[in-house]
């Protein structure tokens, strides 16, 4: 299976960013031959890019897909790609059979394999998003294939272009083109039946459960970055394992085990999809293992701490229940985690006194047990919920030193963010705030934390605005907005990034756009709890009030109110388009 040249960039959001992709250019060319009105605009660009990626850049697949635009919309075509072997049919009746349809082309390549190669290829179809050799050996070995044979068989499939190979910093990873994976998955069912397919999927799910539990002790220490990146690479497989367990008798405990083992990873990546597995299970507490149940409650609450108001409240309740259980079990490590996350959750749902009490209890427990890592994490919770303390900078520096001692890069990043706020917008040392944020951003890049990158690009956008560099402020805010759109909306980040864009628009003299963004920002603020919204410093309050005053002077009260109301009514998608200058609103 040969694909076109340069891969389609996953981050591409515009027609300009897709320029130079062979796959996209082929698709556009063939689409125009079937529909002369087809034009690749910024509106269609993300969908066209995603479609070409899902077709693996295979020229025949792209040509057959483009031909379908004569009878269906681009959106309809994309949504039906999971049925590609029925969808992508066509071609000349005089062509060779393997050229007539995508399915026939794949079948022709498959038929040339030995029976053992076909068996391994079928079993490899259970992997999602790639795999390493160890995983392939454990999942594909057995039932006629020796584990030691898998290495050579995978290598043979790579040679025959049915499996791709890519070397990362830590291993050689393999991946099936999605087109091949779907065909092999169909063959797995047809040849082996449901029992054989179920056994391969069971081995796959068990392998990733074990990998998650292997990762757990490494997620807070010196190997944190490597294991965070490794779980990133395996995240699609972990989700497949969770889906498998969700449909198996007795699978609830295994879902809980995955969630508890990977808590730090899930929170760092904001993988709230796991909340959707956990929350309904926790309604009926389907396990007799109370430690496991308490750990699952803590994970569930931690995952939605900075979510919308309804989910944050529900998360608070889960954490309160988990804390009660941890106390009953007299498990110091579990109680430390419950207290820390319980403090953060209480703060977000505006229970500030309770938040401080829980953080102080977490600190006292850590000092009693001698756990320096739990002490650092307790200090971080206190810093969040009691930011007006006179000694807050000293606490931030103490926590940062402890996290550096343990090698916990993720929480070093958190401490640097807090320090940047304390020394920047609180006391006016904006240059110091910028430098601390840049240091934190370098760590976020190292550990691959999308959430921290979004947060820091947004924070830096405001810092550069306050320093008078509007171009850099907008550039960094755009990076944050693009990331939020691609990775999933975080209401708090959208709230602050819209604030940045509103300030920049007003300074640039774009009064109508500034008023729209200001109205949208006000509406977002009304939907957030005070804790979710974050800290308003005197500098930020002054910038907000000056922005509003300037807009009213330029537009007048009536036009400002009208445009603000129009901005307040925008959907999140339209609001992000407005931030990124993707749409135009008439005044």
- CATH number of the CATH domain containing 179: 1.10.10.10
Could you tell me what percent of the chain has a pLDDT over 70? Answer: 91
User: DSSP character for 586?
Assistant: -
User: DSSP character for 304?
Assistant: T
Is there a contact between 495 and 530 (Cβ–Cβ < 8 Å)?
A: no
Is there a contact between 460 and 476 (Cβ–Cβ < 8 Å)?
A: yes
User: pLDDT class for 63, splitting at 50, 70, 90?
Assistant: confident
What is the DSSP pairing of strand 172-175 with strand 164-167? antiparallel
Mean pLDDT value of segment 220-235: 93
Give, rounded to a whole angstrom, the gap between the first and last alpha carbons of the chain: 53
Residue 5 confidence (pLDDT): 46
Name the 3-class secondary structure at 254. helix
- Same domain? 157 vs 91: no
Question: Among the three residues 146, 161, 194, which one is the final residue of a domain in this structure?
Answer: 194
User: DSSP character for 302?
Assistant: H
248 inside domain: no
156 inside domain: yes
236 inside domain: no
531 inside domain: yes
What is the DSSP pairing of strand 131-132 with strand 164-167? unpaired
Mean pLDDT value of segment 203-224: 96
User: pLDDT class for 537, splitting at 50, 70, 90?
Assistant: confident
Is there a contact between 93 and 66 (Cβ–Cβ < 8 Å)?
A: no
DSSP states of 198-254 = HHHHHHHHHHHHHHHHHHGGGTTSTTHHHHHHHHHHHHHHHHHHHHHHHTSTT-HHH
Q: Which residue has the higher pLDDT, 203 or 49?
A: 203
Strand partners, 167: 172
Strand partners, 164: 175
> What is the sign, positive or negative, of the torsion defined by CA atoms of 239, 179, 9, 171?
positive
User: pLDDT class for 83, splitting at 50, 70, 90?
Assistant: low
- Residue 155 domain boundaries: 105-194
- Same domain? 492 vs 561: yes
Strand partners, 419: none
Q: Which residue has the higher pLDDT, 442 or 487?
A: 442
**Kind and range of the H or E run holding 92:** none
- Same domain? 92 vs 146: no
Could you give the CA distance from residue 334 to residue 294 in angstroms, rounded to a whole number? 8
Alpha-carbon Rg for the chain in angstroms: 26
Phi, psi of 118 (to 5 degrees): -65, -40
- Same domain? 61 vs 116: no
CA distances to 320, 354, 367 from 361, in Å: 14, 11, 10
Q: Which of 53-67, 148-162, 350-364 has the lowest mean pLDDT?
A: 53-67
- Same domain? 62 vs 147: no
Question: Among the three residues 70, 85, 100, which one is the final residue of a domain in this structure?
Answer: 100
CA dihedral 407, 411, 414, 420 (to 10 degrees): -30
- Same domain? 475 vs 490: yes
Helix axes 491-507 and 450-466, enclosed angle (nearest 10): 30
- Same domain? 121 vs 94: no
Mean pLDDT value of segment 73-77: 84
Could you give the CA distance from residue 206 to residue 217 in angstroms, rounded to a whole number? 19
Q: Is pLDDT at 122 greater than 80 in this prediction?
A: yes
Q: Is pLDDT at 116 greater than 90 in this prediction?
A: yes
User: DSSP character for 69?
Assistant: G
Residue 279 confidence (pLDDT): 92
Q: Is pLDDT at 581 greater than 70 in this prediction?
A: yes
- Same domain? 568 vs 476: yes
- Same domain? 111 vs 28: no
Q: Is pLDDT at 41 greater than 80 in this prediction?
A: yes
Could you give the CA distance from residue 448 to residue 444 in angstroms, rounded to a whole number? 6
Phi, psi of 306 (to 5 degrees): -105, 40
CA 44 to chain centre: 23
CA distances to 108, 198, 248 from 192, in Å: 20, 10, 20
470-513 residue pLDDT tens? 999 999 999 999 888 777 667 888 999 999 999 999 999 999 99
Could you give the CA distance from residue 216 to residue 247 in angstroms, rounded to a whole number? 25
Question: Among the three residues 151, 167, 194, which one is the final residue of a domain in this structure?
Answer: 194
Mean pLDDT value of segment 403-427: 88
CA 497 to chain centre: 18
What rounded mean pLDDT belongs to the chain?
A: 88
Strand partners, 172: 167
Mean pLDDT value of segment 93-122: 73
CA atoms within 13 A on the CB side of 560: 16
Could you give the CA distance from residue 521 to residue 519 in angstroms, rounded to a whole number? 5
252 inside domain: no
Could you give the CA distance from residue 549 to residue 560 in angstroms, rounded to a whole number? 10
347 inside domain: no
Residue 102 confidence (pLDDT): 65
User: DSSP character for 462?
Assistant: H
Count Cβ atoms below 10 Å from residue 276 Cβ, excluding itself.
11
User: pLDDT class for 538, splitting at 50, 70, 90?
Assistant: confident
140 inside domain: yes
The number of folded domains in the chain is: 3
- Same domain? 43 vs 155: no
- Same domain? 135 vs 29: no
DSSP states of 313-382 = HHHHHHHHHHHHHHHHHT-HHHHHHHHHHHHHHHHHTT-HHHHHHHHHHHHHHHHHHT-HHHHHHHHHHH
**Kind and range of the H or E run holding 471:** helix 470-487
Q: Which of 256-270, 302-316, 470-484, 553-567 has the lowest mean pLDDT?
A: 302-316
- Same domain? 92 vs 144: no
409 inside domain: no
């Amino acid at each position: 299976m040969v694909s076109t040249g340069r891969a389609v960039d996953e981050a591409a959001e515009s027609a300009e960013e897709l320029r130079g992709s062979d796959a996209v250019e082929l698709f556009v060319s063939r689409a125009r031959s079937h529909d002369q009105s087809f034009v690749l605009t910024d509106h269609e660009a993300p969908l066209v890019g995603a479609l070409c990626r899902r077709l693996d850049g295979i020229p025949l697949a792209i040509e057959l897909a483009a031909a379908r635009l004569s009878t269906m919309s681009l959106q309809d075509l994309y949504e039906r790609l999971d049925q590609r072997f029925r969808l992508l049919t066509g071609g000349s009746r005089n062509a060779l059979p393997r050229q007539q349809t995508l399915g026939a082309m794949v079948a022709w390549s498959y038929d040339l394999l030995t029976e053992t190669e076909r068996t391994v290829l079928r079993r490899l179809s259970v992997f999602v998003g790639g795999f390493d050799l160890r995983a392939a050996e454990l999942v594909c070995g057995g039932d006629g294939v020796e584990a030691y044979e898998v290495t050579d068989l995978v290598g043979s499939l790579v040679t025959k272009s049915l499996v791709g190979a890519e070397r990362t910093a830590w291993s050689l990873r393999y991946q099936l083109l999605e087109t091949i994976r779907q065909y092999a998955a169909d063959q797995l069912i047809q040849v082996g039946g449901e029992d054989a397919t179920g056994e391969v999927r069971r081995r796959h799910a068990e392998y990733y459960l074990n990998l998650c539990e292997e990762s757990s002790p490494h997620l807070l220490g010196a190997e944190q970055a490597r294991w965070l990146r490794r779980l990133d690479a395996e995240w699609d497989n972990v989700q497949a394992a969770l889906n498998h367990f969700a449909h198996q008798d007795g699978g609830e405990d295994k879902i809980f085990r995955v969630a508890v083992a990977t808590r730090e990873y899930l929170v760092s990546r904001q993988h709230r999809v796991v909340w959707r597995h956990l929350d309904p299970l926790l309604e009926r507490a389907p396990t007799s293992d109370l430690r496991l149940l308490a750990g699952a409650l803590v994970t569930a609450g931690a995952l939605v701490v900075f979510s919308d108001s309804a989910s944050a409240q529900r998360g608070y309740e889960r954490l309160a229940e988990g804390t009660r259980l941890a106390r009953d079990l007299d498990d110091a490590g579990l109680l430390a985690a419950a207290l820390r996350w319980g403090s953060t959750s209480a703060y977000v749902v505006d229970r500030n006194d309770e938040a401080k009490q829980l953080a102080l209890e977490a600190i006292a427990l850590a000092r009693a047990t001698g756990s320096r890592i739990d002490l650092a994490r307790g200090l971080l919770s206190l810093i969040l919920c009691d930011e007006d303390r006179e000694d807050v900078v000293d606490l931030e520096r103490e926590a940062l030193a402890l996290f550096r001692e343990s090698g916990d890069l993720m929480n070093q990043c958190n401490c640097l963010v807090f320090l940047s706020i304390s020394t920047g917008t609180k006391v006016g040392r904006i240059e110091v705030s910028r430098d601390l944020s840049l240091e934190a951003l370098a760590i976020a890049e190292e550990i691959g934390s999308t959430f921290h990158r979004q947060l820091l690009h947004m924070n830096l956008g405001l810092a550069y605005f306050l320093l008078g560099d509007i171009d850099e402020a907008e550039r960094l805010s755009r990076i944050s907005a693009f990331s939020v759109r691609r990775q999933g909306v975080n209401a708090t980040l959208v709230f602050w990034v819209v604030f940045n864009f509103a300030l920049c628009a007003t300074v640039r003299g774009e009064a109508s756009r500034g008023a729209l963004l200001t109205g949208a920002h006000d509406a977002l603020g009304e939907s957030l709890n005070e804790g979710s919204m974050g800290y308003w410093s005197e500098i930020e309050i002054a910038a907000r009030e000056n922005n509003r005053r300037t807009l009213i002077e330029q537009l007048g009260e009536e036009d400002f109110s009208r445009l603000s109301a129009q901005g307040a009514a925008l959907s999140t998608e339209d609001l992000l388009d407005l931030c990124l200058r993707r749409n135009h609103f008439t005044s």
